[in-house]
Amino acid sequence: MRPIDYSSPVDRSKCIVQISLKQLRYAAAAARTGHFGRAAQLYSASQPALS
């Protein structure tokens, strides 16, 4: 495994983040409630799935 070169600039055009609508809703609920457990209850999901 070769070491990471932190001296070269990062090409942001190659950085792609894919997030699903479900993940976005979970994140918004966690931000709104301020608590992963409460957000999980809103969507009938388990707390580890949100955090």
Q: Walk along the chain (51 residues) and give the pLDDT tens digit of each residue.
A: 778 777 777 776 776 778 899 889 999 999 999 999 999 999 888 888 877
* Residue 2 per-residue DSSP state: P
The dihedrals phi and psi of 3, each to the nearest 5 degrees, come to: -65, 155
pLDDT, residue 3, reads: 81
Alpha-carbon span 21 to 43, nearest angstrom: 13
Annotate 1-51 with DSSP letters as a single string.
Answer: -PPP--SSPP-GGG------HHHHHHHHHHHHHS-HHHHHHHTT--HHHH-
